[in-house]
Amino acid sequence: MKYHICELDATPEWLTLESIDYIVECLEACKSLDMLADLRAIFPRQALRCASIKVCEAQRQSIVQWLQLLNTEENAA
């Protein structure tokens, strides 16, 4: 399955503490690979990276696993 990845550059508005905190909340609430794929379609990559370092360790490990699967699927497509 082909997932869309947001290609927008992270403008300063995306990188404010308030925006990053909101993205952290979204990442913390993420419960599946499909939910993470949806977040990648919505948020710019740089904003996701900034937020991901604030996510708890256990959730970060899940996100890394899901990203590996998503990237594997993208490369196979």
pTM: 0.90
Enumerate the domain spans of the chain: 17-76
Residue with tokens 């740089």: 46
- In the predicted model, is pLDDT for residue 71 greater than 90? no
Summarize pLDDT for 27-61 with one digit per residue, the tens.
999 999 999 999 999 999 999 999 999 999 999 99
